[in-house]
Amino acid sequence: MADQPTKQKLWGGRFTGKTDPLMHAFNESLSYDKRMHAADIKGSIAYAKSLTLIGILTKDEEAKIVEGLKKVGQEWENGTFEVKPDDEDIHTANERRLSELIGPLGGKLHTGRSRNDQVATDMRIWLLDQVQDITQSLKAFIRVMVERADKEKDYLLPGYTHLQRGQPIRWSHLLLSHAFSFHADYQRLQQLIPHISVLPLGSGALAGNPFAVDREFLAKELGFQFLAENSLYGVGDRDFIAEFMMWASLTMVHLSRMAEDLIIYSTAEFGFVTLSDAYSTGSSIMPQKKNPDSLELLRGKSGRVFGNMSGFLMTLKGLPSTYNKDLQEDKEPLFDSVATISACLKISEGVISTMEVHGDKMRKALTMDVLATDLADYLVRKGIPFRETHHISGRAVALAEARKCQLNELSLQDYKSLNEKFEEDVHQVFDFEASVERRQAIGGPSRKMLERQISVLRNALEN
């Protein structure tokens, strides 16, 4: 009988030559997919139970395999797991270590299972766990924004379009505009969960499981909502990864836009907010500098996450059916995107909760020209069509600019020269607080509508 090698890769029976060491390094994924060790153990324990149900394992064998798998998991948790040179990936490493602990019985675990359906299952288990953590971080971040908005409703500032002063709003209204973007991100993330929670295990390499394993049992055991109904789809689908990275890219865009607002508002030219020292850095040459590095990194990392998503889509687009080794390229961009957005949400929460807001400087930035629309609305209430009142208000702005004065400094005679409908009460228009409070329609910046927005977000967070 020919001598058998003492160590053999899972796929090694077909091959008699040695793998080029460079190829082994090029091929391995354990260096980064080891973070899925708990997911792999969880999936393997469930699979061992399913093999017992169909008579491949006895209850005693199942108990030994489960005990061995738990010991392997403990070694990963306490940092004592010893990686061997031939460990290609987390699946190979765990199975190798299991067989070292319990002997040849460990080889039964792979009956009817392929690394193709195993890795697809592990990634879904791992990502579902990560989504739960990200959900909690996202909720905590939104909650901080809502509570801050509730406390700072009295602060008025200019609302900007094209970075030009437009109309007066409340600071809380601006803050909540970002909070609603993140609330939409929260909703989209929850909608993504059913797409991730589809069980591939039991699909085999591509053609299904030959031992009639109970996949509905596996889904229930592992907490999946659905089964992959087609085995080819089950092992080859990575849309859930692309979707998550799309979600992460959009959420990072929202973080980036919020960061941009705060970067601008923290400049000396605006002075609306001051970042905490905990989220700022200094200059190596200019002692006076306080740089908003936390916000700039949030803005910068949005490009990184988008790059992960777009790069993976390029990998995915040309693949033939079922599993191809190209799909190993799903892990690093996914892992990086998860780690990046998780950190960014926590940093954002810290920035918002600790920054100082300068309501006095916000109010000083308000000039009477931001009430030009209110002036037009005044004439609308006198029965003049808006398109005409818009033109009249524009002429009033031009007149004030020519006089080098503010709109409220024009006399009643000046206003009557523009239109006879102007009366003594025209100067009541020039009140920033009154302007904001007139906007009582749902979605507006009045105090009542802000309280409604806060209530909507609080209810969403609680439910």
Q: Is the pLDDT of residue 3 over 50?
A: no
The pLDDT value recorded for residue 24 is 75
Domain ranges for the chain, please list them.
Answer: 22-111, 116-160+169-358, 368-446
The pLDDT tens digits for 431-454 are 999 999 999 999 999 999 999 999
Q: Is the pLDDT of residue 11 over 50?
A: no
Q: Is the pLDDT of residue 353 over 60?
A: yes
Comparing 23-32, 354-363, 382-391, the range with the smallest average pLDDT is 23-32
Report which of 94, 39, 24 is spatially closest to residue 334, judged by C-alpha positions.
39
271 torsion bin: left (phi>0), alpha (psi -120 to 50), beta (else): left
Comparing 194-208, 277-291, 299-313, the range with the smallest average pLDDT is 277-291
At the second CATH level, the architecture of 22-111 is Orthogonal Bundle (1.10)
Task: Choose between 2 and 442: higher pLDDT.
Answer: 442
State the Rg of the chain over Cα: 31
The pLDDT value recorded for residue 298 is 97
Determine the Cα–Cα distance for residues 167 and 369; give it in Å rounded to an integer. 9
Task: Choose between 282 and 194: higher pLDDT.
Answer: 194
Instruction: Give phi and psi for 160, each to the nearest 5.
Output: -115, 140
Q: What average pLDDT score do residues 378-382 get? A: 94
CATH 1.20.200.10 for the 116-160+169-358 domain, yes or no: yes
Which of the residues are catalytic?
Answer: 162, 283
Q: Is the pLDDT of residue 1 over 80?
A: no
pLDDT band at 16 (very low <50, low <70, confident <90, very high): low
List, as one string, the DSSP characters of 278-306: GG-B--SS-TT--B-HHHHHHHHHHHHHH
Q: What average pLDDT score do residues 27-56 get? A: 95
Q: Give yes or no for a contact between 1 and 60, defined as CB atoms under 8 angstroms apart.
A: no
pLDDT band at 192 (very low <50, low <70, confident <90, very high): very high
Determine the Cα–Cα distance for residues 331 and 91; give it in Å rounded to an integer. 14
Q: Tell me the three state secondary structure of residue 156.
A: strand
The pLDDT value recorded for residue 284 is 67
Q: Which two tokens stand for residue 186?
A: 């929260």
Q: Which CATH number fits domain 368-446: 1.10.40.30, 3.40.50.11540, 3.40.50.2300, 1.10.3720.10?
A: 1.10.40.30
The pLDDT value recorded for residue 26 is 83
Q: Angle 90-102/115-151 helices, nearest 10 degrees? A: 120
